[in-house]
Amino acid sequence: ICTVCQTKTSPLWRRGDKGEVLCNACGLYHKHHKKPRPISLANSSARSARRSNHQN
């Protein structure tokens, strides 16, 4: 279970600075921002990639 968002499923589990278990999303957020992932982001759905309809 992720210690930040309490999720039970993740494609990859990570460890925080103190050895705490983090889901992939919380682990990446912590790695880039050096702070825990906000709960408002933890409960939101995953962001999807935007694709343009530009044709070559």
Q: Among the CATH numbers 3.30.50.10, 3.40.30.10, 2.70.98.10, 3.20.20.140, which is that of 1-40?
A: 3.30.50.10
Q: Report pLDDT digits (tens) over 2-47.
A: 999 999 999 999 999 999 999 999 999 999 998 888 877 766 655 5
Query: pTM of the predicted model, to two decimals?
Result: 0.70
Per DSSP, the residues of the chain read: --TTT--S--SSEEE-TTS-EEEHHHHHHHHHHSSPPPHHHHTSPPPPPP------
pLDDT at 40: 78
And the tokens for 42?
A: 């933890």
pLDDT at 15: 96
